[in-house]
Structure 1
Amino acid sequence: MTVKYTPDHEWIQIAGADGIAMVGITHHAQDALGDVVFVDLPAVGTQLKQKDVAGVVESVKAAADLYAPVSGEVVEVNEELRADPSLANSDPLGKGWFFKMRVADPAELDALLDQTAYDDLVKNG
């Protein structure tokens, strides 16, 4: 199971060889946003290019775009998160995932940050 991060504080987890990845926001992102009150998720079937806006996260403090970490097709959205946006705060790396996508170009993952590089970004950012 590989997890990669974007400089915009999204994570992507590749679980298996089927090319399906789960996407969400990091602890740092949810902490910076504060209490999440609404999420706008992409529609299943949406084709995204890397760095496309895939949705919006709204909190009591601000609204922030959610970017696609890689190119691909949205195959599932987290309806539980839509019903209870606070999951993005309470469990951002688990039940608070945003959507699943079929990765179009696995080589795009190589440009993302590993855990050490992401931790350095947050610490020095």
Structure 2
Amino acid sequence: MKLIEIVKGFPRQENVASFKQCIKGLTDEELLRLTIPLLDEIEGRARICLIKVLSTALKYESSFMVILDIGCRKKLVSEIGEWLKFLVPRIKLKEFVKLVNGYKEHDVEIVSIILYKLQFILDEEQLKKFE
């Protein structure tokens, strides 16, 4: 079964288990190369499930940043809050602030969305670092 067919069945447990088996042993680079084509095939809860599975399989913080960047560039607004909730605890706040600051130059809309969603994830002291 192709990976695309498997992820189209997300978030069903049997599809998730099958996907985890298929990606076992892949490097972060290989997983990240799969991300965009797979995200383009699914939406909503399936996307959130895919990101959680991929994020669990990724080993490096830089890979988490790439996943967040993909979500932001694709403007996956409905899912970005769930992604942030899952990924932010795995990333150094300083690095995440850099990523968000990078968007200030060319995409203020996504910065506003991220900051709004972060209100529900971070405490006030951590939020001040984004000012």
TM value normalised by structure 2: 0.25
Structure possessing the higher relative contact order (Cα contacts under 8 Å, 6 or more residues apart): 1
Structure with greater proportional helix content: 2
Higher CA-based Rg: 2
Structure with greater proportional strand content: 1
